[in-house]
Structure 1
Amino acid sequence: MVKEGALLWEPTPEVVRTARVTRYMEWLGRPVDYQDTWEWSVRDPAGFWTSIWDYFEVVGERGDGPVIDGVMPEVEWFGGSALNYAENALRGHPGRTAMVFRSEAGGRWQYSLGELRAEVARVRAGLVRLGVGRGDRVAAYVSNIPEALIAFLATASLGAVWSSCSPDFGASSVIDRFTQIEPAVLIAVDGYRYGGRRFDRSDVVREIAARLPSLKATIWIPTLSQEAPEAGGLTWDDLRAESAPLEFERVPFGHPLWVLYSSGTTGLPKPIVHGHGGIVLEHLKSLSFHQDLGGGDVFFWYTTTGWMMWNYLIGGLLVGATVVLYDGSAVHPGTDALWRLAAEERVTYFGTGAPYIMASLKAGVKPEGLDHLRGIGSTGSPLPPEGFAWVYSDVRHDVQLGSFSGGTDVCTGFVGAVPLLPVRAGVIPCRCLGAPVEAFDPAGSPVVGEVGELVVTGPMPSMPVMFWNDPSGERYRDSYFADYPGVWRHGDWIKILPDGGCVIYGRSDSTLNRGGVRMGTSEFYRIVERFDEIADSLVIDTGRLGQEGRLLLYVTLTGGASLSDDLVSRLRTTLRAELSPRHVPDEIRVVPGIPRTLSGKKLEIPVRKILLGTPVEQAANPDAMANPEVLSHFAPG
């Protein structure tokens, strides 16, 4: 058992001296003091975000309007400004390596910045020939391949709007998303490879295209077959057939850049729109100061195009890093697949989901050849203290591990790491610069040292500029501002420590409430999944407002294990000792799998609905799930 808060890493004087955030503080003329700078950044957001524009020499016209106009949720940033994401992402020396692509099948491709610019110009010209222009939507059903990045940058360069889903999404899930934005062009792969298998998606692409009457063209990217599409179809080579100069349409700060989506497991996915300016400033700040990335770095994050971390990964271009794209399974042919990739590509910053770190721990992986690695990022779900400790015992003792928590809603982290602060087991070191995060108690008052609702009390430029097809803003306001007027409620439990560190306890709408004691599910999982016999778990409290229900623990067992009386006894004893007697489950049940979203998050709320009487087929959208077949195992009776 690793004690929460145990010190695992401290920055050396050299790390502090060379950190990019240190150079920024010196440029500001402020003391090199993170907490002091964070307090200034949230007290004077106009001054802070202006400094980000100036420090990074953002390409564009800043304009003479106010930096911030209005109050949340109706906020306008940098009135009168004009810029373009792609213009900022594609600046720099043409000879530097901008992108490396690796596939599970063994392929490797590399693009210099000059080569990437040339490809973007070709695809941009092809989109123009199809009639795509400013404000039009380009939808993509693509893997994490070079064509995805190239097509996005070409779309952004025109002032058109990008939106992508990964090809493991089912047809109805994609249609639910893309029909909301009425795309002019669909770019799609005919299939993909994952876990050593081939998945033909050509019929799914045809079904999606048939349900999008707004389409002017469908562009096929052949990944499994080199056969030409049906009559009238276009290929990627057709789209990029003609060379052209690369130009950029500068747009207002809040002009739509891309549309991301909520998970859509329990309703129609929310189409979340981010603007060019907000994403440029936020990603410059976060990647440079919190991940400490810049020129010469090699940046990898395991993701698909259906998760916001893809959008965050490609932001590495903004700070001059080489971005590494990977298409395939994280654990094929073995659990160490991503660690081997990191060694081979000399990755300096390695990002993944917390479940992959825990899977590596359980599999006994001991990565080698990571001499270039300086930082590791973890997100998607809270990383238990044991995961922190494994990184320092089995990966590298001198690496900075950064657990981050944020969301698709802002396409960044609210809380995370910074090179100036130590790393402690299970603790996120700080609230991110420019993110006025607080923990609210039930009365709506900020608390320190207690678990509360994660709220954001002031505006951030990467907050959504709108939801698509929400002209009154009602759906947007209801999503974040219904509980605390003028304050963003994110839906997570957080504890802010007196020294500024943070602990995330999971979603506040799937809370365990036993005898008035509220507890996030992450604490429960940390204990249960420590057992060698348990591969995965899900805990559900069926209580309703004013009445206590049953506490049910579902477990998926490792190969050869059984739910023996001894295992049940050890589970109950440990939970009683480490949590409380009230948090001992009323029943423990074995299931073949734990339901997860396509991005790997556990689906607690749909299972709770099923247990309270919602039919399985109505509890969640199966096309938004990685394993919809397991839901039926949670039905009562």
Structure 2
Amino acid sequence: MSSKQLWQPSSPEKTQIHHFKSVVNRKHGISISSYHDLWNWSVSEPAQFWEEIWHYTSIKAHKPYVQVWEPNAPLFPRPQFFQGSRLNFAENLLFPAGCPDDDTVAIIAATETDREYITWQDLRERVRRCSSALRESGVRIGDRVAGFVGNHANSVVVMLAATCIGACWTGISPDTGVHAVLERLQQVEPKVLFADNASIYNGKLHGMHRKIRDLISELSCLERVVVLETVKSYGFDFNGIDLQHGTVSSYASFLAEIQDRTAPLHFESLVPDHPVYILYSSGTTGPPKPIVHGALGTLLQHKKEHVLHCDIRPGDRLFYFSTTTWMMWHWLVSGLATGATIVLYDGSPLRPLDPEGGKGEMAMPRLIDELNITHFGTSAKYLSILEQAALNPRRHPHRPVTLRSLKAVFSTASPLAPSTFEYIYSTFHPDVLLGSITGGTDILSLFGASCPILPVNKGEIQCRALGMAVTAYDYAGNDIGFSGEPGDLVCTQPFPAQPVMFWPPGPEGAQRYRKSYFDVFGPRVWHHGDFVALNPETGGLIMLGRSDGVLKPAGVRFGSAEIYNIILKHFADEIEDSLCIGRRREGIDTDEMVILFVKLAAASNEFPTTISQDLVARIQAVVRKELSPRHVPGIIDICPEIPLTSNGKKVENAVKQILCGLNIKTGASVANVACLDWYRHWAEKHP
């Protein structure tokens, strides 16, 4: 292996993607040998490729398609895929191909203290009862059903019950503030709201009474509110929880009202683009945009990624640490469609999972061992926390773990630093597939994916996902592809997981859709908003940050992730986190200045007033040596906190606009929004 290669597949011929390649060769009379050959075929013959995905992943349909897609269609307006077919999203998750035995475990739901094992038979029965209750409550095709819920089994049950009927599900995590929830739900007007009675995080109980009361007082669209007994020891007080035109009840009462208790589990037969999920843009600088995803596009993409890119099979156990708000929750739940067991976790990832707990960072490695998780997913931020703690779970002095079941580790939400790649292979296991992946809420799936028949190279996403015509454009719209130069990540061919629309339906939503992705390069090029370089030697992707976080001092473009990687690699003991921003104010600055804010890993809670000039000099010297003189920040200063979204993404754009003197309305998606006031004061003091 080269110095950058950290893993090589030992038995590529045993993977599902290898078998898929053989099927394609035989059916189409071609001789594809490598992954990159397969990718080239998938984007040069997209109709044939997506048709093979339909058959190979065993999409369950009520009516066959008459056409895969219209050749040469632009990305906008969005073309239709598999026209003529009819299907149901929930049915494909509840009755996967090669359906597991009824008594096989479908879901394992874990909290900081409890475990719940749900069989396929039990899951279907729960969905049957909930869908009956929803139908009798008046929920119909096209209605919206919302969840203000944590990552537990009932969240999956009520989502599947809603999508059985043809209602559209939208989920929001219960740690979200009321204002942020209203920003979303007031736009999509759900008919029914499911909410947790309480949640437990890091051992602390958080009751939901006040939040639910405040929410429903502002949501006149609601006809039914159902409170789930998520924390059984918490007695929920229904006093003061009233709907003007509807009913509020417990989940037990909701189910007890069912009139026809023998009604079978029924799946509505729906068109491929029927809305199944509504997710929301980050909303860091304004109201979040509701992004509507269709049933078949979501299903095809997720099954393709799970089966081919992740090699997930029936009997495997798939885990992703996620909230119900994040796209990765939806990606995780689709694991049911492969016949795998999905593992849900509701709680802190750093909370010890047993009375003898020990070091908090061991929580997730212990869960891997306890539940025999085969595919473990999390955020890059969590893995960097473990790296900074120098934790080796297999050599823990008190409670080591074996991680013997682990086949793959997935990381997303932000670029995974090269040093973290090395950390995973030196501490978790030397023979796991480390899949740094990238995509987004916008597509509910991946542009850059893992691949079990390719090597893992330090600091790189292994490949462009099959069927995704990904390349890099420079600022002028030239395809710079595998030049190795950084550019904007774009996709140049339609794909099934494009959003079916933005809410609201009609001209306003269409304008939102177009402006989000097609204003930069036109209707035939999806402009995603990521800054990327494609490695001509490996075919991998190097993520450099968001396009709105691109730094351009003296006209040289580079991504903030390059600076973050340097900080994590060389200053992890001194710096907890960092934020790199380009500042150029209209009419004031002739060039952009790079400003680096660092949050010190201080032993005390006291915030120092000045940064050590020795630390500044050392950072500048390392950046100059490992990157270039043009990468060196013009100003380095300390900050008390880094603004983050609830998924742990750094909120660069809001700070950039503050520093550039723009008057922005910051959306409530910034989890620690109060810290932005510090940056406003900093900007005033540094004119």
After superposition, the C-alpha distances for 1:537-588 in whole angstroms (9 at most, x for unaligned) are 0011102588313322111111328743322221111111122223222222
**Matches of residues 344-359 of structure 1 in structure 2 within 5 Å?**
344-359=370-385
Alignment partner for residue 439 of structure 2, among 402, 406, 416? 406
Are 2:627 and 1:620 equivalent residues in the alignment?
A: no
- Match of 1:455? 490
| Counterpart for residue 528 of structure 1 | 567
1:131 equivalent in structure 2: 138
Within the alignment, does 1:71 sit opposite 2:74 as a pair? yes
CA distance in 1, matches of 2:3, 2:542: 10
1:222 Cα deviation (Å)?
A: 2.8
Q: Distance in 1 between matches of 2:469 and 2:645?
A: 29
- Counterpart CA distance in 2 for 1:544 and 1:441 is 23
Task: Say if 2:142 is the partner of 1:103.
Answer: no
Equivalent position of 1:167 in the other structure: 174
CA shift for structure 1 position 470: 4.2
* Structure 1 CA distance for aligned equivalents of residues 314 and 278 of structure 2: 28
TM-score, scaled to structure 1: 0.96
- Could you tell me which residue of structure 2 aligns to residue 22 of structure 1? 18
In 2, Cα distance between equivalents of 1:578 and 1:32: 37
Structure 1 residue 186: Cα displacement: 0.6
1:489 aligns with 2:527: yes
Partner of 2:356: none
**What is the match of residue 468 of structure 2?**
435
Structure 1 CA distance for aligned equivalents of residues 91 and 505 of structure 2? 29
| Partner secondary structure for residue 601 of structure 1 | coil
Give the letter aligned to residue 610 of structure 1.
I
User: Do the aligned partners of 1:607 and 1:619 also contact (CA within 8 Å) in 2?
Assistant: no
Whole-angstrom CA distance in 2 between matches of 1:234 and 1:65: 45
- The AA in structure 2 aligned to 1:82 is R
Match of 2:612 in 1: 564
Distance 1:468 1:371 in 2: 45
Q: Which amino acid is the alignment partner of residue 529 of structure 1?
A: L
Inter-partner Cα distance in structure 2 for 1:237 and 1:64: 41
Separation (CA, whole Å) in 2 of partners of 1:238 and 1:309:
31
Distance in 1, Cα, partners of 2:331 & 2:502 = 20
Aligned residue type for 1:94: D
Residue in structure 2 matched with residue 204 of structure 1 by the alignment: 211
Partner-residue secondary structure (3-state), 1:529: helix
The amino acid of 2:478's aligned partner reads S
Cα deviation, 1:498-544, whole Å, max 9, x if unaligned, reads: 24211110001111111111100000001123301000000111025
Offset at residue 626 of structure 1 (A): 1.8
Deviation string, structure 1 residues 209-233 (Cα, Å, up to 9, x no partner): 1211111110011334233523752
Report the 3-state secondary structure (helix = DSSP H, G, I; strand = E; otherwise coil) of the residue aligned with 1:426.
coil
Question: Are the aligned partners of 1:418 and 1:430 in contact in 2 as well (CA < 8 Å)?
Answer: yes
Counterpart for residue 315 of structure 1:
334
Which residue matches 2:398?
A: none
Point out where structure 2 has 5 or more consecutive residues left out of the alignment.
353-359, 394-400
For 1:56, the equivalent position in structure 2 comes to 57
Instruction: Tell me, in whole angstroms, the C-alpha distance in 2 between the residues paired with 1:506 and 1:427.
Output: 13
Mapped pair 1:238 → 2:265: no
Conserved in 2, the CA contact under 8 Å of 1:119 and 1:240?
Answer: no
Name the counterpart of 2:678.
633
Task: Tell me the distance in 1 between the aligned counterparts of 2:186 and 2:148.
Answer: 13
Change over 3 Å in CA distance of 1:583–1:593 after alignment to 2: same
C-alpha distance in structure 2 between counterparts of 1:614 and 1:206, whole Å: 35
Distance 1:492 1:440, change over 3 A: same
Alignment of 1:291-370 (within 5 A): 291-333=310-352, 334-367=360-393, 368-370=401-403
Aligned to 2:516: 479
Match of 2:38 in 1: 37
Amino acid at match of 1:8: L
In structure 2, do the counterparts of structure 1 residues 544 and 459 end up closer, same or farther at CA, with 3 Å as the change threshold? farther
Whether the aligned pair in 1 keeps the contact of 2:209 and 2:236 (CA below 8 Å) is no
* Cα contact 2:197–2:236 (8 A) shared by 1: no
1:116: which partner in 2? 123
Instruction: Quote the residue 1:517 is aligned against.
Output: 556
Deviations 1:23-76 (A, max 9, x none): 111222254421111111111111111111111221114534321134221211
CA distance in 2, matches of 1:555, 1:5: 30
Aligned residue type for 1:366: N
Whole-angstrom CA distance in 2 between matches of 1:399 and 1:10: 9
1:443, distance to aligned residue in structure 2 (A):
2.4
Q: Is the 2:128–2:265 Cα contact (8 Å) retained in structure 1? A: yes
Instruction: State the Cα distance separating 1:167 from its structure 2 match.
Output: 0.8
Q: Verify the 8 A CA contact 1:220 1:229 in the aligned structure 2.
A: no
Normalization by structure 2: what TM-score? Answer: 0.89
Give the deviation of 1:207 after TM superposition: 1.4
3-state SS of the aligned residue for 2:221? coil
Greater Cα shift, 572-581 or 487-496: 572-581
Q: CA deviation at 1:342?
A: 1.2
**Deviant stretches of 4+, over 4 Å:** none
Distance in structure 2 (CA, Å) of the matches to 1:62 and 1:130? 29
Corresponding letter in the other structure for 1:359: I
Partner residue of 2:357?
A: none
Kindly indicate whether the alpha-carbon contact (under 8 Å) linking 2:552 and 2:592 is maintained by their aligned counterparts in 1.
Answer: no
CA deviations on 1:8-35 (whole Å, 9 max, x unpaired) are 00011x2x12111111112222544211
Partner SS state of residue 188, structure 2: coil
Query: Match for residue 396 of structure 2?
Result: none
Tell me, in whole angstroms, the C-alpha distance in 1 between the residues paired with 2:594 and 2:466. Answer: 39
Query: In 1, distance between residues paired with 2:296 and 2:596?
Result: 45
1:214 aligns with 2:221: yes
Q: Distance in 2 between matches of 1:577 and 1:355?
A: 26
Cα separation, 1, equivalents of 2:2 and 2:574: 23
How far the C-alpha of 1:196 sits from its partner, in A, is: 2.1
From 573, 594, 602, the equivalent of 2:650 is: 602
Distance 1:5 1:509, change over 3 A: farther
User: Aligned residues, how many?
Assistant: 629
Matched, 1:550 2:585: no
Q: State the Cα distance separating 1:306 from its structure 2 match.
A: 0.8
Question: In the alignment, residue 495 of structure 2 is paired with which amino acid?
Answer: M
The answer to whether the 8 A contact 1:22-1:32 is kept is no
Contact 2:654 2:666 in 1 (8 A): yes
Bigger drift between 561-570 and 355-364 goes to 561-570
| 1:166-211 deviation digits (Å, cap 9, x = unpaired) | 0111111111111111111011113211122222222111111121
What does residue 385 of structure 1 align with? 418
The whole-number CA distance in structure 2 between the counterparts of 1:547 and 1:335 is 46
Kindly report the root-mean-square deviation, in angstroms, between the aligned alpha carbons of the 2 structures.
1.7
